[in-house]
Amino acid sequence: MSAAAPLTALAETAPRSVLLRGGDVYSPADPFATAVLLQEGTVAWVGEEGAAESYARDAELVVDLQGALVTPAFVDAHVHATSTGLALTGLDLTDCPSLAEALDRIRAFVATRDTRDGVLLGHGWDETKWPEHRAPSRAELDEAAGGAAIYLSRTDVHSALASTALRALVGPELAALPGHAPDAPLSRDAHHAVRRAALAHLTPAQRDAAQRATLAHAVTLGIGSLHECAGPDISSEADLSALLALAAGTPGPEVFGYWGELGAVETARRLGAVGAGGDLFVDGALGSHTACLHDHYTDSAHTGASYLSAAQIADHVAACTEAGLQAGFHAIGDAALTALVDGVRAVAEKLGLDRVRSMRHRVEHAELLTPAHIAAFAELGLTASVQPAFDAAWGGQDGMYVERLGSARARTMNPFAAMLRAGVPLAFGSDAPVTPLDPWGTVRAAAFHRTPEHRISVRAAFTAHTRGGWRALGRDDAGVLVPGAPASLAVWEPGELVVQAPDQRVANWSTDPRSGVPGLPDLTPGRELPRCLATLVGGRAVHLAA
């Protein structure tokens, strides 16, 4: 056997067996592992350097990790690939500091585009972070857009700015839809209508470029799998079909689709979706005042929007359960979560608790949870597909949650520690483009939650962002580096490995060699996040850093 090759050798060949050695391998099979053997897309062995030599003699390729860390690849359990790609390649307002700057960026963006055909798209504005504390008026938007048809989704994608030219594409019926406002952002049904009109004007080439941009970006971050949350109010059947076909035929992350349409079991199956859920809306979002609450918003005299009743939820869950297909719902506010729990419990009483639990039905976001909700999630076997970056973006005493809900309710948001204590399965995602693809940032956000009692260990957060995503699919064999598991993994630059937990006593014991707890990168806020050197999916390199 020749001397060990560098990581770049993975780009030059597609060997049936690869031994990665001389690093740190994050695995429950051996907390002191330094090497991992991959054979035909599967983890064949994990262990220490002494035993690696015997495998080196037979492996087709031996790679010297030079001290790098090897972990399971991340799973982002909630994305919108086309919209994410459009934000990556188009007008992104997520870091815009003011209304005036937003209008300047719109003008500059329009100046570089041919506005004679189609619709211009952008994303990410958030008026709660602007000194003007308001969105642009329609007149201001029209002036900045130069009369072009332009769609700009708010950061939560539950309301949007739509120019006069775009509104005209929908027609006069837009004014009669719930959520319409003549001179303000559109929400609810009016927003869905202008979004459909905007996306309908995307050419296949534009859509393909956006989806490719998302898949290519994901693997540079160590993401080996994405859960696409599609639906008629989010994208289209053609959009989901194109994405699944692209992912199946292109080296990159594995993509699993969800179709969020009420009662659409057969549609989900026809499209190749793994579940009839994802963004099947029970309510909206807090930032757009459309999350459904038991008590009114602190800054608005209403309780948000309710899109589905407990009876409708029950009918959908029953149909999915009887068809052997996973159901899922978007639910953020406490009233929406109550309706969801009531609906699922009704199905458990009808079809049997064990049968419902076995499906691992999903709840996306699940933010304003009460202790009763958490207990019901555990009882009913519901998987919580959550986004810790939401707390990093909008939590804290000066954040949007406090503005919308007041301090007392805001402190109950995203209670990850309580959910884990109760036995609720967690799967982490980004909801990109709502928050960016950023897996280590997501783990950091959970470990350093703005509300200290909701913090979880880095190890638990990492598990939720790797194995948790696979478990949400019903796959208990993946997301962990043990013999027999799929070889979906990421390699990270060498650095100090530590054990971080909210309880310092636990952290101190975990660093003791006798505990056998493997370390992970130090994610203390302010420190640079790990850089991905390589991502492998099915044992094949889909990303190698330059």
Strands 532-537 and 489-492: antiparallel
Would you list the domain boundaries of the chain? 7-72+480-493+530-544, 91-200, 204-472
Confidence of residue 1 (pLDDT cuts 50, 70, 90): very low
With cut-offs at 50, 70 and 90, classify the pLDDT of residue 509: very low
Average pLDDT, integer, range 76-104: 93
Task: Give phi and psi for 137, each to the nearest 5.
Answer: -75, 165
Give me the residue label for tokens 């030059």: 12
Q: What is the CATH number of domain 204-472?
A: 3.20.20.140
Concatenating the DSSP letter of every residue in 165-223 gives HHHHHH-GGGGGSTT--TTS-EEHHHHHHHHHHHHHT--HHHHHHHHHHHHHHHHHTTE
325-340: average pLDDT:
98
Judged by average pLDDT, the poorest of 106-115, 172-181, 470-479, 525-534 is 106-115
Tokens of 96: 């815009």
In the chain, the percentage of residues whose pLDDT exceeds 90 is 84
What is the number of other CB atoms lying within 10 angstroms of the CB of residue 503?
11
At 77, give phi and psi (nearest 5°).
Answer: -85, 5
pLDDT score of 113: 85
Cα–Cα distances in angstroms (integers) from residue 130 to residues 95, 97, 108, in the given order: 10, 6, 19
The per-residue pLDDT for range 362-416, each reduced to its tens digit, is: 999 999 999 999 999 999 999 999 999 999 999 999 999 999 999 999 999 999 9
**Contact between 32 and 19 (Cβ < 8 Å):** no
Tokens of 456: 């979880």
| ω into 530 cis (within 30 of 0) | no
Q: Contact, 300 vs 289, CB < 8 A?
A: yes
pLDDT at 3 over 60: yes
At residue 515, the pLDDT reads 56
What pLDDT digit, counting tens, does each position of 26-47 carry?
Answer: 999 899 999 999 999 999 999 9
With beta carbons less than 8 A apart as the criterion, state whether 396 and 450 touch.
yes
Question: Nearest-CA neighbor of 67 among 29, 21, 33, 27?
Answer: 21
Q: Give the Cα separation of 229 and 222 in Å (integer).
A: 20
pLDDT tens digits for 186-243? 998 999 999 889 888 888 888 999 999 999 999 999 999 999 999 998 899 999 999 9
Q: What is the pLDDT of residue 117?
A: 61
To 10 degrees, what angle do helices 310-323 and 334-351 make? 50
In angstroms, the CA 468 to CA 479 distance is 8
Of the candidate CATH numbers 3.40.120.10, 3.10.310.70, 3.40.50.300, 3.30.70.20, the domain formed by 91-200 belongs to: 3.10.310.70
Cα separations in angstroms, 531 against 38, 392, 441, 490 = 22, 21, 12, 10
Interval 245-277: pLDDT, tens = 999 999 999 999 999 999 999 999 999 999 999
Tell me the pLDDT band of 518, cut-offs 50, 70 and 90.
confident
pLDDT band per the 50, 70, 90 thresholds, residue 512 = low
Q: Say if residue 505's pLDDT is above 80.
A: no
Tell me yes or no: is domain 7-72+480-493+530-544 CATH 3.40.50.2000: no
Question: Rounded to an integer, what distance in angstroms lies between the CA atom of residue 102 and that of residue 126?
Answer: 10
Model confidence over 419-473: pLDDT tens digits?
999 999 999 999 999 999 999 999 999 999 999 999 999 999 999 999 999 999 9
Highest mean pLDDT, choosing among 54-63, 352-361, 515-524: 352-361
> What's residue 104's pLDDT?
96
For the segment 120-150, what is each residue's pLDDT rounded down to a tens digit? 898 899 999 999 999 999 999 999 999 999 9
